Structure 1
Amino acid sequence: MALSLWGPDALNGPAVCGLAAYAAERDHGREGWLPARFTLELFKSARRIPTSLHTEVLRDGRRIKVVQVSVRQHDGDDEKGVLVAQGNTVFLKQGDNPPGARWSRTAADYDVPETADDDFHTWFHNDRLGWGSDMTKYQDGGRRRLWSRPIPVLPDVEQTPFQRAVISAEGTSLATNWGEGGIGFINGDLTVALSRLPVGDRLGVESDHHLEDSGVSAGTATLFDERGPYGIGMVTAVDNTRAMIDFTTVLPASAYKGDGPFTPDGERRGDDRNV
């Protein structure tokens, strides 16, 4: 489930972001403080090798705490490792809202599909088809929603709402960069802004904006759960047409068994796999 379609033995963005969220919350989370912003720079492809996590407090104030998270990978006897991702998590002290009304979209704007408890498929939505789980039918140039069930990043470690939010929010890149020919932009970062922690096992991402020029894109999305919107996701991405993923011919990485989505020669497996 953690393997990427971008390259052989590569980890996907949700897995790396989920690890960073886990480390920040494990080391510095506390009652009454919301992990309100998560930012991670994904500047080097992570692989399926030993990985270590390090956190450092940059600011510990009365109402704000800023934690830096570093993700390093170790090949062989390399104890120092190679830095593959780094970012900050900002914890804000919770309290009361200021008086007065402010505009916000209502929870009624976000309908969600009915799914079975044992259904781990991601569901997709556009205005033409509504909700469905057949990814191949949703490859177009329109606005879309995702409704996914984030899986834990570590075995035997209970997944928290914050981890689910970050893993789901990495879908901002898919929601905003997936077009008629597939996805040809690869994101090099993720920013998540939360007003509250999400509820439920399934979480949604709705594309809001996609801008692109000269091989660079910027995208934002609304993050929602069964109660309505709870946060915002943002990514910047760079052209990766040489490894463009066409979901009408290639299965998502999660559909493959232990041998992964690539052949030993580094070629992507097609949709004729017996899975």
Structure 2
Amino acid sequence: MTEVVAHFVQSEQDRFAPTRFAQSHWGEDHLNGPALVGLAAQALESAFGLPEFLPARLTVDLFRAARGVPTTTKVALIRAGRRVRNSECELVQDGVTVARATLVQYRLGAAPRGEEWVAPVTFDHPGALDDDRTTYIGSDAGGWSRAIADHQNDSRKRFMNRTITVIDGHPNSPFVRAAMAAEGTSLVTNLGTAGVGYINGDLTVALSRLPGDDWIGVQADAHWANDGIAVGASTLFDGAGAFGTGMVTAIGNPAAQIDFTDDPFPERTAPR
């Protein structure tokens, strides 16, 4: 695979070759969630984004394991209303759709009168951030560190992410950064004492505004699991505070559980 610090290299207008940074821990020829989410988000925003509209909700359904092969984006504008815009993107490999994303955009406008309830929520940042890093992970039991294995416990998790570029030569927009960071909801909610044993089949990220920083925090809010099915929710933060919500549903995958204390693919982590 091409050695650039990005998830994909563009070969044609709508065709992209994955790099090693797009690889997943779930298998030797699988692509990771942030790479797929980021590619879909960038394709939708590039095709249909407008400055007067906020990308308020992105849902990505991961139909099957995406592989390390050229990936095509197919986008369509479903509705172009005065206040609401809806669009879709399919990620296609070898003629098969491996993921489908739907984007809802709302026109920016004046807020209604009055005050509403706001959940009391705080996010303890890891302190000084190293620009040579792209991630930090923290937990109530372990504080902040740079190794996921330090946080294989049953306490609340949080993640700090400075996303790498989705497509080589195309800087990530605030929306793309938020969508990619939100995919960390799966990690902060499903990481337990034995690693990660659930694989998420989707991601929904809802935004009240775009992030103002390169670094985005993701903090677990809820995790419910029964009979091999899990639901996780998180809050997204930048330096100004909370600005969005992530949610994933996941299915148990114990046969391929990822124990980060014995990482089978240490070379697949982002640049450090």
Q: TM-score, normalised by structure 2?
A: 0.88
* 2:219 maps to which of 206, 218, 223: 206
User: Equivalent residue of 1:248, what SS?
Assistant: helix
Consecutive unaligned residues in structure 2, runs of 5 or more? 1-20
Consecutive unaligned residues in structure 1, runs of 5 or more? 75-80, 259-274
In the alignment, is residue 102 of structure 1 matched against residue 122 of structure 2? no
The list of structure 1 runs, each at least 4 consecutive aligned residues, that deviate by more than 6 angstroms after superposition, is: none
Write out per-residue CA displacement over residues 206-235 of structure 1, whole angstroms, 9 at most, x where no aligned residue. Answer: 101111111111111111111111100000
Write out per-residue CA displacement over residues 42-61 of structure 1, whole angstroms, 9 at most, x where no aligned residue. Answer: 01111111111111111111
* 1:179 maps to which of 183, 186, 192: 192
| Structure 2 CA distance for aligned equivalents of residues 256 and 37 of structure 1 | 28
Q: Percent same amino acid among aligned pairs?
A: 43
| Structure 1 CA distance for aligned equivalents of residues 132 and 250 of structure 2 | 30
Write out per-residue CA displacement over residues 108-148 of structure 1, whole angstroms, 9 at most, x where no aligned residue. Answer: x2231234453324212222332222322111011111011
Aligned to 1:263: none
Aligned to 1:9: 29
| Structure 1 CA distance for aligned equivalents of residues 124 and 145 of structure 2 | 13
Aligned to 1:36: 56
| Structure 1 CA distance for aligned equivalents of residues 198 and 99 of structure 2 | 18
Aligned to 1:126: 139
Aligned to 1:216: 229
| Structure 2 CA distance for aligned equivalents of residues 116 and 254 of structure 1 | 22
Contact 1:185 1:240 in 2 (8 A): yes
Aligned to 1:51: 71
| Structure 1 CA distance for aligned equivalents of residues 82 and 107 of structure 2 | 8
| Structure 1 CA distance for aligned equivalents of residues 158 and 249 of structure 2 | 19
Residue type of the alignment partner of 2:261? T
Aligned to 2:15: none
1:24 to 1:257, Cα distance in 2 relative to 1, 3 A:
closer
1:90 to 1:194, Cα distance in 2 relative to 1, 3 A:
same
Aligned length in residues: 252
Contact 2:56 2:206 in 1 (8 A): yes
| Structure 2 CA distance for aligned equivalents of residues 167 and 142 of structure 1 | 24
Contact 1:121 1:133 in 2 (8 A): no
| Structure 2 CA distance for aligned equivalents of residues 147 and 256 of structure 1 | 15
Post-superposition shift, 1:105? 4.1
What's the RMSD between the two structures over aligned residues?
A: 1.9
* 1:241 maps to which of 249, 254, 258: 254
Post-superposition shift, 1:90? 0.4
| Structure 2 CA distance for aligned equivalents of residues 257 and 163 of structure 1 | 17
Higher strand share: 2
User: Equivalent residue of 1:153, what SS?
Assistant: strand
Post-superposition shift, 1:97? 1.0
Contact 1:106 1:228 in 2 (8 A): no
| Structure 2 CA distance for aligned equivalents of residues 7 and 255 of structure 1 | 11
| Structure 1 CA distance for aligned equivalents of residues 66 and 221 of structure 2 | 28
User: Equivalent residue of 2:109, what SS?
Assistant: coil
Contact 1:2 1:254 in 2 (8 A): no
| Structure 2 CA distance for aligned equivalents of residues 157 and 208 of structure 1 | 32
Post-superposition shift, 1:32? 1.1
Contact 1:173 1:187 in 2 (8 A): yes
Contact 1:3 1:253 in 2 (8 A): no
